[in-house]
Each structure stands twice: as C-alpha cells, then as structure tokens.
Structure 1
Amino acid sequence: MNDIDAWVWWLIGAAALGIPLVVTAMPEFGMLAVGAGAAAIAAGLGTGVVVQVLVFAVVSTALIAVVRPIAARHRSQRPQLVSGVDALKGKQAVVLERVDGSGGRIKLAGEVWSARSLDTGRAFDVGQEVDVVEIEGATAIVM
C-alpha cells in the first residue's frame, strides 16, 4: 500500500466518485471527482497531504458553488424549440366551417381541426382568419 504514490490514490478516488455520478446522475459527484483529479495533480507535483486535501476541498467547493446555480437556472428555463400543440398556440388559422362557442372547423398548419370560440357569444364565418389561443385535446380554442 505504501508503494503506491498519493496521486494514484487521488485518481482512484476520482474514479470512485465517477461511479455514483453515472448511477445517480447527480452532478455533485462529478464536481467532487474533478476536485480529486486536481488533488492528484497537486500530489504529482510533490505537494504535501495538507495541500492536496486543501486543493480537493477548494476545487470541489468552488465547482459546486459556481456550477450548481448555473445548472439550476438552465434546467428551469423552457426549451426554446417548441413542438407539438405548444407550437400551434399563437398561430393563425382559416375558418372552414362556422366557428362559435359550440364548435366548428378550421385549417391550422395544413390540417383540419375542430375548433370553438374562446368567447362563447362570438362566431367566426367561413374564410375569416382566427388566432389559436389554446389546444384542448383535438380542439383548437380560437379568437
């Protein structure tokens, strides 16, 4: 055991921290693994155990303090590329059959959709352009 250099132990520690990173997908383990890698570099340069532990602690803490808030901010942002029914909200459509509070038909994104008016007292005649406000199941809510 004493024949193995300290930098090898730090690399083993980094690999050991990489395993739960892959299994649990918790990025904190990766940041700790990077800290262990930095400590391995410090050990390879011939520094003492105290300096190696300090390098591990400082690098790991700095990564967690800086990277976690950035990752959390990116995780909470909505994707910029919308697809499915979310992509249809706000689009314009053409009325194919009179649309009122009880129903009708529109042509939306090249397809025929059932539709109903957002304002139940308002009706749209054939050929009028309407805006899609919401999609409820297979029905477009228009105004």
Structure 2
Amino acid sequence: MSEFFDWISSHLWAGWGILALLLAAAELLTLDLTLLMLASGALMGGVTALIFPSMVWLQALVALATAVATLFLLRPTLLERVRRAPGYRSSLDNLIGSQTTNTVPITGSSGEVTIQGETWPARSYDPSMTIEAGESIEVLGLDGIVLLVYPTNRPLGR
C-alpha cells in the first residue's frame, strides 16, 4: 500500500484525478451538484499538477478557486435550469395525489399528516372544513411546504 502512496506523491496529477472521479461518483448518490463542483476543482488541480508538478501549493490554490467559483457561480445557474426543465417534479410535487389516514384533526389553518414515514404540515383544502382524526385523506395541492388535503370519502365541494 505504501508503494501506491509513493507513486501518487510523485504523480500528483493522478491523485487529483482519482479524487475527482470519487467526488463525481459520489455526486450520483446526492444529485445536488455540490460534489460535482468539488470534482471540477479537483480536476483543475490535476491539470495544474501536469503543468507544474512540484508546485503543490499552486495546485491546491487552483483546485480551491475552481471549486469555490463553480459552487457559487455555476451551480445556481445549473440548478435553476434543471428545475425549469419540462417534466421536472420536486419531491414535494410527488406528494400530490398521495393518500393516507390522518392521526390529528386538520383545520383550514393547521394540522399535520404522515406520508411515507415523514410528517408534513397540512391544512384543509376547504378552509371552512375540519377533518377529524382517522379519516382517509388525499393531498390535492401545496402551499409552500404545507400540504393541502381533502377527505377521500367526501365529494369535493369546490
């Protein structure tokens, strides 16, 4: 194992490349684009290591500058484009249409429901309606992160 580290220390470009690949692979688990921006920094550190192999401080500086620049300049733009793409649905949007049984009363201004093991703030879709505990409900919409719910056993009045 020490031979591997000796080789990496004499070929820092490969170490930067391995780090970039590991960060890019880890990005596939998060899909948040943060680790991908860090991977771009590591990649640029590797390119700098190819040009200036003995200047480790410069490699680290270029890697850090690239990672910070992409995190704060490129990532927000990319996230906005992804979120505006046709067919994109956030995890909150995926809750619309979910059905569950509420455990606490839900009014037009307050309440909570548990869907797929997660507790969400909720309120009645019809502000004048109170949904008693134990009723089967369906998520009809969203108001921020508050779920708008309606009982499945009652006809929709509006």
Between 36-45 and 17-26, the greater mean CA deviation after superposition: 17-26
- The 8 Å contact of residues 16 and 42 in structure 2, kept in 1 or not, is answered as yes
SS state at 1:44 partner: helix
Distance of aligned partners of 1:12 and 1:76 in 2 relative to their CA distance in 1, 3 Å threshold: closer
SS of residue in 1 equivalent to 2:52 = coil
1:18–1:77: structure 2 CA closer, same or farther, 3 Å change rule?
closer
In the alignment, the residues of structure 1 paired with residue 17 and residue 50 of structure 2 have an alpha-carbon distance, to the nearest angstrom, of 11
Alignment counterpart, residue 56 of structure 2, candidates 49, 73, 85? 49
CA distance in 2, matches of 1:25, 1:75: 11
**Partner deviation per Cα, 1:95-116 (whole Å, 9 max, x = no partner):** xxxxxxxxxxxxxxxxxxxxxx
Matches of residues 110-129 of structure 1 in structure 2 within 5 Å? none
Which runs of at least 4 in structure 1 moved beyond 3 Å after TM superposition?
A: 75-80
Distance 1:78 1:42 in 2: 35
Give the SS at the match of 1:14. Answer: helix
Q: Where do residues 30-49 of structure 1 align in structure 2 (5 Å cutoff)?
A: 30-47=36-53, 48-49=55-56
When the two structures are superposed, what TM-score results if normalisation uses the length of structure 2? Answer: 0.46
CA–CA separation in structure 2 for the residues paired with 1:38 and 1:61? 12
Q: 1:54-133 residue pairs with structure 2 within 5 A?
A: 54-77=61-84, 79=86
CA distance in 2, matches of 1:78, 1:15: 27
**Superposition deviation, residue 76 in structure 1:** 4.6
Give 2:17's match in structure 1, choosing from 11, 34, 38. Answer: 11
Report the CA distance shift for 1:16/1:78 in structure 2 as closer, same or farther (over 3 A).
closer
Q: Which protein has the bigger strand share?
A: 1
Please state if 1:29 is matched with 2:35. Answer: yes
Aligned twin of 2:26: 20
State the shift of 1:3 in Å.
Answer: 2.5
Unaligned runs of 5+ residues in structure 1 are 81-143
- Matched to 2:71, the amino acid is I
TM-score, normalising length: structure 1: 0.50
> How many angstroms apart in 1 are the aligned matches of 2:72 and 2:30?
20
Long gaps (5+) in structure 2: 88-158
Equivalent residue pairs, number: 80
